[in-house]
Amino acid sequence: MYKKQPPELNFTSGRRFVPSSTSGMMRLNSKHYNKALAFTIKERQLLGIHGLLPPLVRTVEEQVRIYYTQLLTLKEDLAKYLFLLNLSEYNEVLFYKLLEAYTEKCLPYVYTPTVGLACQRYSYIHEFPRGLYITFKDKGHVCNVLQNWPQSDVRVIVVTDGGRILGLGDLGANGMGIPVGKITLYTAFGKVRPHQCLPICLDVGCNTDSVREEPYYMGLKRKRPPIDEYDEFIDEFMQAVVKRFGQNCLIQFEDFANNDAFRFLEKYRHQYCMFNDDIQGTAAVGLAGIISALKCIGTDLKSQRILFQGAGEAAIGLARLLIIAFRKAGVKQDEAVKCIFLRDSQGLVVTERSLDTLNGNKLIFAKEMPPIFKLEDCIREIKPTILVGASAQPGSFTKEALRLMTSYNAVPIIFALSNPTAKSECTAFEAYTHSKGKCLFASGSPFPPLEFEGRTHYTSQANNAYIFPGVGLGVTACCIRHIPPEIFLIAARTLADLCTPEDLLQGRLYPPLNKLSCCAFEIAISVVTYAHIKNLSTVLPRPTNVRAFLKHQIYDAKYEPVVPPWLNPNVNQKEKVRNNCIDCIDCQ
């Protein structure tokens, strides 16, 4: 309850305070400061916005429930995406609170799979400056464009060139939806502060004619440049990031096309603080799922044969990390390689194939076997214990393929990693039906739990969202300059350890999605601890309590009370006098 608005408010200091509706309006219009109906009456009076809001004061919890109820009334996925995007632009704290409270329900709309649909329509939905577009035309001036970003303390960049957006191909500048989505997760779960995160789209053109020629396409209407010119541009970008944000700024490469992704990872991983999420983040989430699945079955990695459908970024990334995991389990590299089979669009990766279909990444996994084309024939020949799909070929885990996996294994392990849902190698329904409910199944995009023969199956979402927020938090917290591959092994093990016996009993290979923040935090702790042991951390002195050290750094989405400047200990006395105590945001 409140009293009549006084003409002026007197505080204990006795200083006369003139409410300023300008700064109050600034707060109402600023996503960083807006509390909407959660401004108390006193705050509204202080800010000169009393009367601009209905008289009711709501708690943030009430606001969250109301927004969630509104979200549920929307029918279309894209409408839900836009609703949440608008909320994030209107009231940042409320947006992150909503994600925290209803993670499992909201995640599919701010991230995969809806983000794929959003990218396909991005020309129609782009409204706010959510990140930076740096185009090929900016070559020679990339640093100037970075200067235009209003925040200087950027610690995490997610960058794409739109070359391979999920399994949807080259979407050019429309790919911006992906770094925007990933950055949302960085703050929501990695708890990296919003102003320290920056999504970037490098628009160098688009080779998909239908996208480029679409009348409303917002990107450069040109094809991608030749590789040498392109590489010069990326070199300039990397240098400009360091110049603008320092060498501790983490650069996450996301959804680049295959060759570019591998080339840049090789080129920059020893030079910059960077990683490739599709290769390395996916590897970690894949390995964590495999570790959990083997725990469920009560067996170990040494006795596994893994067949990949797809031999690209995700598959090669996981295959390489598996080799490290095999080595740690005491299996020599050449023995480990024998347990890993790749099948790409040309069939099984075998030495007999012509060299131009086998690049260096695939070559080490090439088997001395006669060529086999069909996936089902590969399964018959290899009798894999684990089948991993990362090919963006929907339906490629056929009834026959799943039936064969079940005939060779009491509990087949089936991962359909491809995104979005429509690109999944099989659906959860197909996996459980064709394996007679026996398989352990995980998929890149979410599938709702389903009943099969009286049992509820919870599909685990094998998505790198479980990995990158924690790796990023850990890396940036202790300022690791170069990220060694072992970091992803550690992230995988930490994630697998977070899967409780109850999760495993339910067939979940990862903790439930509402534990994403906890997963990120524990992964970050492991990363920082590893960095200290290996002398990778450049933060000195080393904190004795890593948990407390990280807790201190993370973002806590909560409304700050509006404090009159003269009561705010953070505002320097002279400043207050100079500003005549006007309640400007800068003063507070």
Ligand X SMILES: O=C(O)C[C@H](O)C(=O)O
Ligand Y SMILES: NC(=O)c1ccc[n+]([C@@H]2O[C@H](COP(=O)([O-])OP(=O)(O)OC[C@H]3O[C@@H](n4cnc5c(N)ncnc54)[C@H](O)[C@@H]3O)[C@@H](O)[C@H]2O)c1
Size of site (CB under 6 A) for ligand X? 9
Name the residue nearer to ligand X (CB basis): 113 or 507. Answer: 113
The reply to whether 255 sits in an annotated binding site is: yes
If we measure between CA atoms, which residue out of 377, 425, 416, 423 comes closest to residue 398?
Answer: 425
Q: Is 273 in the site for ligand Y (CB under 6 A)?
A: no
Per partner kind, with CB cut-offs from 5 to 8 A, the member of Mg ion, ligand Y, ligand X, none near residue 285 is: ligand Y
Beta strands in 98-205 (DSSP E): 132-135, 156-160, 197-203
**Using the 8-state DSSP alphabet, how is residue 84 labeled?**
H
Displacement of CA 208 from its chain's centroid (Å): 25
| Least Å from the CB of residue 371 to ligand X | 29
Of 81, 96, 111, 133, the active-site residue reads 111
Residue number of the CB atom closest to ligand Y: 312
Select from Mg ion, ligand X, ligand Y, none the partner in contact with residue 310, using the beta carbon and a kind-dependent cut-off of 5 to 8 Å: ligand Y
At its nearest, how many Å lie between ligand X and the CB of residue 119? 10
Please give the residues from 431 up to 470 whose contact with ligand Y meets the rule CB under 6 A: 444, 462-464
Q: Are 390 and 278 in contact (CB under 8 A)?
A: no
Helix axes 92-101, 60-73, angle to 10 degrees: 70
Distance CA 308, CA 561 (A): 53
Q: Which of ligand Y, ligand X, Mg ion, none binds 307 (CB below 5-8 Å, type-dependent)?
A: none
Query: Is 525 near ligand X (CB under 6 A)?
Result: no
Cα–Cα distance, 165 to 169 (Å, whole number): 6
Shorter beta-carbon distance to ligand Y: residue 126 or 423: 423
Task: Say whether residue 425 binds ligand X (CB under 6 A).
Answer: no
Q: How far is the CB of 255 from ligand X (least distance, A)?
A: 5
In the list Mg ion, ligand Y, ligand X, none, the entry touching 462 (Cβ below 5 to 8 angstroms by class) is ligand Y
Distance between CA 463 and CA 442 in Å, rounded?
9
Q: Is the Cβ of residue 311 or residue 336 nearer to ligand Y in the bound state?
A: 311
Q: Which of 181, 205, 289, 312 is close enough to bind ligand Y by CB under 6 A? A: 312
Q: At what angle do helices 258-268 and 227-245 cross, to 10 degrees?
A: 50
60 binds ligand Y (CB under 6 A): no
| Residue closest to 304 by CA, chosen among 438, 425, 442, 411 | 411
d(CA 537, CA 317) in angstroms, rounded, equals: 25
Q: Taking a C-beta distance cutoff of 8 angstroms, is the pair 407, 101 a contact?
A: no
Catalytic site residue 182? yes
- Min CB(42)–Mg ion separation in Å: 46
Interface pick for ligand Y out of 361, 419, 421, 588 (rule CB under 6 A): 419
Q: Is 357 in the site for ligand Y (CB under 6 A)?
A: no
Nearest to 179 by CA among 49, 309, 277: 277
What's the closest the beta carbon of residue 447 comes to ligand Y, in angstroms? 13
> Residue with CB nearest ligand X?
112
Q: For residues 443 and 526, which CB has a smaller minimum distance to ligand Y in the complex?
A: 443
Residue whose C-alpha is closest to residue 564's, from 7, 9, 130: 9
- Determine, following the binding rule CB under 6 A, whether residue 208 of this chain makes contact with ligand X: no
State the Cα–Cα distance between residues 137 and 204, nearest whole angstrom. Answer: 8
**Is 189 in contact with 465 (CB distance < 8 Å)?**
yes
Type of residue numbered 221 = K
The backbone region for 64, taken as left when phi is positive above 0, alpha when psi lies in -120 to 50, beta otherwise, is: alpha
Task: Indicate which of ligand X, Mg ion, ligand Y, none lies near residue 309 (CB less than 5 to 8 Å, by partner kind).
Answer: ligand Y
Gap between the Cα atoms of 316 and 174, Å rounded = 26
The single residue of 35, 80, 97, 182 carrying the catalytic annotation is 182
Q: Is the peptide bond before 420 cis (omega within 30 degrees of 0)?
A: yes
Specify the residue, 95 or 264, whose C-beta has the smaller distance to ligand Y: 264
Task: Report in angstroms how near the CB of residue 291 gets to ligand Y at its nearest.
Answer: 16
CA atoms within 13 A on the CB side of 580: 4
Residue 167 in the binding site for ligand Y (CB under 6 A): yes
Member of 158, 166, 240, 471 binding ligand Y (CB under 6 A): 166
Using CA atoms, how far apart are residues 560 and 455, in angstroms rounded to an integer?
46
Pair 212, 206: CB distance under 8 Å: yes
**Known binder of ligand: residue 278?**
yes
Minimal distance, residue 388 CB to ligand Y, in Å: 10
Does 161 participate in binding ligand Y (rule CB under 6 A)? no
Give every CB contact of residue 510 below 8 A, 6+ residues apart in sequence: 285, 288, 289, 292, 442, 460, 461, 462, 466, 495, 499, 503, 519
Is the Cβ–Cβ distance between 98 and 128 less than 8 Å?
A: no
Assess contact for 499 and 522: CB atoms under 8 A: no
Structure tokens at 551: 């807790």
With CB under 6 A as the contact rule, which of the stretches 15-23, 122-130, 229-237, 341-349 interacts with ligand Y?
A: 341-349
164 labelled binding-site residue? yes
Q: Smallest gap, in angstroms, from Cβ of residue 162 to Mg ion?
A: 11
Of the pair 385, 445, the CB lying nearest ligand Y is at: 445
Q: Is 542 within 8 Å of 528 (Cβ atoms)?
A: no
Return the SS3 of 465. Answer: helix
| Binding status of residue 120 toward ligand Y by CB under 6 A | no
111 is catalytic: yes
Nearer to ligand Y, 341 or 559 (CB): 341
Helices (H), 534-570: 546-553
If the CB atoms of residues 49 and 204 are measured against ligand Y, the closer one turns out to be 204
Contact residue for ligand X among 385, 463, 537, 588 (CB under 6 A): 463
103 contacts ligand X (rule: CB under 6 A): no
The reply on whether position 45 binds ligand Y by CB under 6 A is no
Burial class (CB in 10 A: 0-12, 13-18, 19+), 345: exposed
DSSP string, 62-78: HHHHHHHHHHHH--SHH
Is 207 annotated among the ligand-binding residues?
Answer: no
Contacting residues toward Mg ion, per CB under 5 A:
255, 278
DSSP secondary structure letter of residue 226:
P
| 278 interacts with ligand X by CB under 6 A | yes
Q: Which of residues 464-503 bind ligand X (CB under 6 A)?
A: 464
- Comparison of 214 and 255: residue with beta carbon closer to Mg ion: 255
* Alpha helical stretches, state H, 409-441: 428-434
Binding residue ranges for a divalent metal cation: 254-255, 278
The residues carrying an active-site annotation are 111, 182
Binding residue ranges for (S)-malate: 164, 419, 463
Where on the chain is the footprint of ligand Y (CB under 6 A)?
164, 166-167, 258, 278, 282, 285, 309-315, 343-345, 390-393, 396, 417-419, 423, 444, 462-464
